[in-house]
């Protein structure tokens, strides 16, 4: 997802969003999201944190919104793990900024 080719990243992100949205109807897909969701979230946050071109950040936000809508409890737990990781996703971000960002993401669910 941190590739410089925007069309490739767009296709990957759209696939992931569709997969996450459809997974609630299929037990096997739920297992995949539960097992790989933390890795997906980590890569998504790294991309938002600066590893991906700015032109694809909106696509990363779509992944976060999809996880937020369909796997809210898991997303909360995963985000808490990343909150306490030093230097993640960037060494320029403070813990207070991370906490604010996480609150903003998790409240997006309530506004939909």
List average pLDDT for each run of 10 residues in the chain, which is 112 residues long. 76 96 95 96 90 87 93 92 81 83 77 49
- Pair 75, 41: CB distance under 8 Å: yes
Instruction: Give the C-alpha separation, 48 to 40, whole Å.
Output: 12
- Cα-Cα end-to-end distance for the chain: 26
**Residue among 83, 94, 23, 16 at smallest CA distance from 56:** 16
Report the 10 Å Cβ neighbour count for 75.
Answer: 22
| pTM of the predicted model as reported, rounded to 2 decimal places | 0.84
At 109 the pLDDT is 61
At 105 the pLDDT is 83
């Amino acid at each position: 997802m941190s590739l410089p080719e925007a069309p490739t990243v767009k296709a990957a992100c759209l696939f992931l969003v569709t997969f996450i949205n459809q997974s609630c109807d299929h037990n096997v897909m739920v297992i995949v999201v539960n097992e790989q969701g933390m890795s997906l979230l980590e890569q998504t946050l790294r991309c938002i944190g600066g590893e991906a071109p700015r032109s694809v950040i909106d696509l990363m936000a779509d992944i976060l919104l999809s996880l937020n809508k369909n796997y809210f409890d898991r997303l909360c737990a995963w985000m808490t793990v990343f909150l306490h990781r030093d230097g993640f996703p960037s060494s320029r971000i403070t813990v207070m900024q991370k906490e604010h960002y996480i609150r903003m993401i998790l409240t997006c669910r309530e506004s939909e």
